Structure 1
Amino acid sequence: MQDKPAKPPSVPGMAKWLGYAGLLPQLIALVLVVRGGALEWIALASSYAYAALIFSFLGGVWWGQAVTTSDSPKWIYGAAVLPSLIGLALFLPWTFGSEWPGPSLLWLGLAIVLSPLVDRKLGWGGGDWLTLRWRLSLGLGGLSVALALLAMERA
């Protein structure tokens, strides 16, 4: 008789609340951009910075999981550094005087939306974790895409 596989631990309630609270900066930025005015550009720049920071944080999560899991695939280490490199690369057009943050925020938002595919491919985290990852990634990525589209429309 085989033992049933252990049920993955559920995500603690505090972690869920804090995760959802992490969408507030992007929601506030969206409100400020929709309202327009003096804070619009600051809200856009801040929304890019916040999305890039969170995306980089996800790479750190993957790295941490990889070094603590004995059978991690070799490719995860490369994948774990990509969010930071992508965030930096998408920031560079601004430093060279190109239009920013609209197109960069769009690509960053799309990358965030797709990021849970890495978790799913790795099989790390149980149902609760993956559900939370999808919700938060769709939330942050979707808000970032909405902000980018607004920015590009007004440019």
Structure 2
Amino acid sequence: MRQVRRTAFALGHAGLLPQMAAVAFALDRDRGTPLFALFYALLILSFLGGMWWGFAMRRADDPAQGRLALMAVVPSLVAVAILLAAFVTGRLDWALVAAGIALFLTLPVDRALVRGSDAPANWMRLRVPLSLGLGALTILAGWIAAH
């Protein structure tokens, strides 16, 4: 696993399309759109944790496996906390902003994976635009939902 290939780059970037559509529908005041945008952002956040888990499991004989496995469950726990807060408060706008920020905050872990040779050398070329793009689109959906 030395490089992320073109197909993975294309599929990764295609993953931005549902959130782009959600923002477009939100601009048209579709009431279900903020909830869809929140679910999608939290799904991807949990998916990132699953990828980190996979990297951790490759460290079978390494004592650092436990630390990386712990970091791998954090995105799902954050996703659940944001979802619960959204339902308790009824504030999808703030939940979307929190989800967008959480997506931004995945980047230091991704960078550490590259430094530790767990992730491919060009991992950040994939992860930076995807995390920043999805995070920004999610925050934009929250802003639209608030107005």
- TM-score by shorter chain over 0.5: yes
Tell me, yes or no, if structure 1 residue 55 matches structure 2 residue 45. yes
Q: Residues of 2 paired with 1:80 and 1:72: CA distance?
A: 15
Aligned residue identity for 1:87:
A
Q: Which has the larger radius of gyration?
A: 1
- Describe the superposition over 1:16-71 as per-residue Cα deviations: whole angstroms up to 9, x where unpaired: 111000000000000011122xxx22111111001101100100111111011243
Give runs of aligned pairs for residues 5-154 of structure 1, distance below 5 A.
9-36=2-29, 40-69=30-59, 70-71=61-62, 73=64, 74-96=66-88, 98-122=89-113, 123=115, 124-152=118-146, 154=147
- CA RMSD in angstroms, aligned pairs only: 1.6
Aligned residue identity for 1:99:
G
Name the SS for the 2:31 alignment partner: helix
TM-score (normalised: structure 2) = 0.88
What's the offset of the Cα at 1:76?
1.6
Identity of matched residues, %: 36
TM-score (normalised: structure 1) = 0.84
Total equivalences in the alignment: 142
Greater RCO (CA < 8 Å, at least 6 residues apart): 2
Unaligned runs of 5+ in 2: none
Contact 1:66 1:72 in 2 (8 A): no
Unaligned runs of 5+ in 1: 1-7
